[in-house]
Structure 1
Amino acid sequence: MSGEPATHEEARRVSSLLQGGAKVLSRIGGALSAALILIVLAVTFVSVFNRYVLGKPIMGVDEGTGFLVVAIVMFGAAEALRRGDHIRIDLLFDHAGPRMRWHLELWSLASVILFSALLLVAAWHTVLFSRAFGAYSTGYLSVPMWIPQSTMVVGALLLIVAALAALLEHITGRRT
């Protein structure tokens, strides 16, 4: 019996550490996402200025910003989930009682984890294939495709970590 409180306290510390780590990683992803938004804005402004004022378009801007938009979404998804800013359909949730809401939230977080894990596996295989095959983008930039595809791997990992922390928080009823 004397080992139980120490084990319970140890589990609580591990839980806090995991949730804290997930919070830090999610915030880093969110900050990176915000920085990329500013970069896309600046690059787009320069591109429009060059095209319409100077009459000299910059080639490859559309391709590059397209890759960056994927990175923005993938890096920002974990922070959006952590903050509760993600999109979900609340039709069932709004009409359910507290007990059913608890189960719906559990199901929702488990679904995010499953989807993210499937995305992680698919993205990982895509990156490995693109790298082994030597695939390059077909636009002006001719970027090795594994580089922009890697953002999906990182984003899926961040989302899994954030969703696992949220699931742990939901089950234990503790907020960090």
Structure 2
Amino acid sequence: MTHLDTFLGHVSKGYLRISQALLLALVLGILAEVVLRYVLGRGILGSAELTRLVITWIVFLMAFVLYRTRRHIVVTALVDILGPRARWVCERITDVSVVALCIYVMIQLWNVWQFLGLKTPVFEIPDTAFKVAPVFCFVPMGLQAVLNCFGGRLRPRPEQSEGV
């Protein structure tokens, strides 16, 4: 289990670096779009396609990073009043639910795979470039949830819970 935790740690760090680079490219692209529209009265052809693609990938890559580090948005009002044993049970229920969700998403993607032949109008980016992004989120997220269930507490908890 320690090897899986180490592997998922490397995946998380890689996803973070990729997301940072994509975010930088997104900000620079939108800045260029705004400047060109203001100065020349014309934008960049296909910028909406690229923006949508980059945002899709940032969201799914960072979803795993945040899940692994327990920095994702959670509502903890009920869990905060529970004792340690009840919290542990809630965490296991959450982990099993995450695994079930991951399996469901993969099955749904498999079911629609044959219909993903569409392409964007300007750059002809295949629809699969958008639809495969959840795989990169949910596969490691499911593995992390399994690790949480059966591997004990291998990953450090954040110093402060940022629940709502």
Q: For the superposition of Structure 1 and Structure 2, which TM-score range results when normalised by the shorter chain?
A: 0.7 to 0.9
In 1, Cα distance between the equivalents of 2:25 and 2:110? 26
SS of 1:87's equivalent in the other structure is coil
Q: 1:151 maps to which residue?
A: 133
Aligned partner of 2:144 among 156, 159, 162: 162
Q: 2:118 maps to which residue?
A: 135
SS of 2:132's equivalent in the other structure is helix
- Structure 1 residues 127, 49: closer, same or farther in 2, change over 3 A? farther
> Do the aligned residues in 2 keep the contact of 1:37 with 1:72 (CA within 8 Å)?
yes
Q: Matched residue pairs, number?
A: 156
- Give the C-alpha shift of residue 62 in structure 1: 1.5
User: Structure 2: 5+ residue runs without aligned partners?
Assistant: 157-164
Q: How does 1:35-46 map to 2 (within 5 A)?
A: 35-46=21-32
Aligned partner of 1:76 among 22, 43, 62: 62
In 2, Cα distance between the equivalents of 1:122 and 1:27? 28
User: Structure 1: 5+ residue runs without aligned partners?
Assistant: 1-14
> Do the aligned residues in 1 keep the contact of 2:36 with 2:43 (CA within 8 Å)?
yes
- Structure 1 residues 149, 46: closer, same or farther in 2, change over 3 A? same
Deviates more, 1:79-88 or 1:25-34: 25-34
Q: 2:102 maps to which residue?
A: 116
Q: 1:58 maps to which residue?
A: 44
> Do the aligned residues in 1 keep the contact of 2:33 with 2:43 (CA within 8 Å)?
yes
- Give the C-alpha shift of residue 32 in structure 1: 1.4
Larger % of helix: which?
A: 1
- Structure 1 residues 175, 143: closer, same or farther in 2, change over 3 A? closer
Q: 2:78 maps to which residue?
A: 92
Say what the alpha-carbon RMSD is for the aligned residues: 1.8
Q: Which has the higher contact order (CA 8 A, sep 6+)?
A: 2
Aligned partner of 1:48 among 28, 34, 41: 34
- Structure 1 residues 65, 127: closer, same or farther in 2, change over 3 A? farther
- Give the C-alpha shift of residue 39 in structure 1: 1.2
- Give the C-alpha shift of residue 60 in structure 1: 1.4
- Give the C-alpha shift of residue 48 in structure 1: 0.9
Please report the TM-score for the alignment, with normalisation by the length of structure 2.
0.85
Aligned partner of 2:9 among 23, 28, 47: 23
The C-alpha deviation readout for 1:64-98, integer Å capped at 9, x for no partner, is 11121111111111110111111111121111111
